[in-house]
Structure 1
Amino acid sequence: MGSLSCSGIWMEGTKKTTTAFLSCHLKKTKPKALSQNGDLKVDGEEFDNGVSSLIFLGIGCSSAVPNARCLILPTDLPCQVCSQSLSLPPEKNPNYSCNTSLLIDYVDKNGAHKYIMIDVGKTFREQVLRWFTHHKIPRVDSIILTHEHADAVLGLDEIRAVQPFSPTNEIDPTPIYITQHAMESLVEHFPYLVKSFSSRSANRRMESLRHHFSRHSASFLFGKKSRTAYISDVSRSPAATDYLISRAGGGQLDLLILDTLYKKGSHNTHFCLQQSLEAVSRIRPKQALFIGMTHEFDHHEDNKALQNGPTEKVFQYNLLMVE
């Protein structure tokens, strides 16, 4: 990642090679061009023979993209973004997006992989079939849940697909890191999944992560020499949080991953584009990526619009997709 700040909206499925997790380093390099299938990679610098990466399993809102209502309403023609979903397979469609979810592929100094997943929403099974197979991900070692809404937790029942198989259930449980507020909701809705561990234990594990809350949704700051902030579900950003992750406060972020629901207007529980752009201007990361979008956003058109926008002299904007 170069010295210019750039922000964008990821395409789903993209694997971003990075060293922003734990104590790895970032090589000063500009992103390579997007390939046809939306796969963007940034060269990472080896840390004790290990190169970690972020895999964006989904960058869409709760209803995902394409929007089913947009396609089935008989009175209106589908929008361009949703229409494209009928003519292109998902792997070739940068506007196809499942629920927001991130997989951290952390490689330690011995070359061993640990797979840490943030959120398992309604589209989790599809994400496993599409992207775990594509990137050859064999399992999930631990899970972090940002909040208790359906787009973050309804895939929990499918976790068995990414656990080791045992007909007698003689396997270690997958650790799940969660807030006390979300734990209370999951105990009510998934009692058969949470009986094996206590909320006190889960909450204590959560305390080891640097996190902040907005409407009971957790955000995360990770990385020592290279810093990444993941803010996937946010309606407001307290001044103390902005300062902690800003260039003027805790030090400039290498990567900011930020919620952006609608292109126009506002929403009571999510940032929309104008708020996200304002947050990027305040925080001033080296690179910012927008996630959680609706079908209002078009990968190619909005890329062009952002690149030619009034703030181009401050930030180079790109709508980026993932594969």
Structure 2
Amino acid sequence: MVQCLGTIRPSPSLSYFATYKRQLSFRSSPITGPANGFSPFRRIFNAYLQSNSATTGAGSQSPSEPSEVIFIGTGTSEGIPRVSCLTHPLKTCEVCSKAAEPGNKNRRLNTSILVRYPRPSGSCNVLIDAGKFFYHSALKWFPSYGIRTIDAVIITHSHADAIGGLDDLRDWTNNVQPHIPIYVAQRDFEVMKKTHYYLVDTSFVLAGAAVSELQFNIIHEDPFSVQGLQFTPLPVWHGRGYRSLGFRFGNVCYISDVSDIPEETYPLLKNCELLILDALRPDRSTATHFGLPRALEEVRKIQPKRTLFTGMMHLMDHEKVSDYLMKLMETEGLDVQLSYDGLRVPVAF
């Protein structure tokens, strides 16, 4: 269910998840915790298995206007290049030095994607996370790809690299559209009441001041619909005791911030064709993020058709890690790659 400013709206049918036989196509170039903590998902998955038909409607695929996922950012909270690396008097950071070059794929801002899909009234743009570098990402990619409106923002968790850009949405609500719906879990909304109190309760705003006009919708552990496309939350751990959400839409599964996947989430990842997964560093995991070795273990377990890693820090050299991942295609048949800021991946819903 989705709770909107104190009102309850029933969530759409879970029949959307009954049939996963549609194909995704891709283009590789951007320019052309305790398991019982997630017990509600047993009910969701059972309903998912019992469904026999797929949802059609405003989010349906149009041959003339394909759906796509656009990587607005693929880096850590601090961004790449690091200022501290570029100003170090004695040590040169190879990745950050490369990232300082225009157009280099090691340049990464806060992790975020935009899901773009057709509807009768035109393209729908759903943003997942608006971090503290959101303005800079939007400045780069929105004009380049003809993105004007933001039809909704879905929040994975309430860290600064996921919600720090909510204030920047004022440009849209002041000049493009009257408001933006925000879909957020209750626990993260409670954080927003403190970090963005003036956006949650606009009575604090002085007369004549312009702030983002946001409509906060509380999401629960059930699928919910955004402009005709259904999203299923994928609960994961992002450090001990801290829950973050991934999301499944169609056959795309997006998990950006994760240190462990509870057993009850795996059934929701079945028949995933495109997995977008956290992979912070090349050597090991941390208390809050998968490293590349663990991320690859999860890929082997989930068995998606294709995987794109995201959320990389400055130890992940795009060219070097990509060369290593290409060898896994030859040795294991694993289709795994690094994403990068500005990458566009056509998908079908």
CA change 1:321–1:39 in 2 (3 A) is farther
Q: Find the counterpart in structure 1 of residue 9 from structure 2.
A: none
Native 8 Å contact 1:50 1:111 kept in 2: no
Is the 1:177–1:205 contact (alpha carbons within 8 Å) kept by the matching residues of 2?
A: no
Q: Which whole-Å CA distance do the structure 2 matches of 1:62 and 1:27 have between them?
A: 33
Structure with higher strand content:
2
**C-alpha distance in 1 between matches for 2:167 and 2:321:** 36
Q: Which structure 2 residues correspond to residues 58-73 of structure 1 after superposition, within 5 A?
A: 58-73=73-88
2:261 to 223, 237, 241: 237
Q: Where in structure 2 are the equivalents of 1:1-323 lying within 5 Å?
A: 27=23, 29=25, 31-32=26-27, 34=29, 38-39=30-31, 47=62, 49-77=64-92, 79-86=93-100, 88-89=101-102, 92-108=103-119, 110=120, 112-165=122-175, 172-195=178-201, 202-204=217-219, 207=222, 208=224, 209-213=231-235, 214=237, 215-223=242-250, 227-246=251-270, 252-309=271-328, 312-323=331-342
Cα distance between partner residues in 2 of 1:97 and 1:284: 27
CA distance in 1, matches of 2:290, 2:330: 19
Alpha-carbon deviation of 1:291? 0.3
Counterparts of 1:317 and 1:255, CA distance in 2: 10
Tell me the distance in 2 between the aligned counterparts of 1:310 and 1:206.
Answer: 35
For residues 48 and 314 of structure 1, the distance between their equivalents in structure 2, rounded to whole angstroms, comes to 30
CA pair 66-26 structure 1, distance change in 2 beyond 3 A:
farther
Amino acid at match of 2:106: N
- 2:345 aligned partner: none
> How high is the TM-score relative to the length of structure 1?
0.77
Aligned residues with identical type, % of pairs: 33
Q: How many residues align?
A: 276
Shift of 1:312: 2.8
- Contiguous gaps of at least 5 residues in structure 2: 1-16, 33-59, 204-214, 225-230, 343-349
Taking structure 2 as the reference length, what is the TM-score of the superposition? Answer: 0.72
Q: Deviations over 1:135-189 (max 9, x none)?
A: 11112111111111000011111001223528xxxx6421100001100000011
RMSD: 2.9
Give SS of 2:338's match. Answer: coil
The one-letter code of the counterpart of 2:109 is: C
Do 2:279 and 2:309's aligned partners in 1 also have CA atoms closer than 8 Å?
yes
Return the offset for 1:319.
2.9
Q: CA deviation at 1:238?
A: 1.0
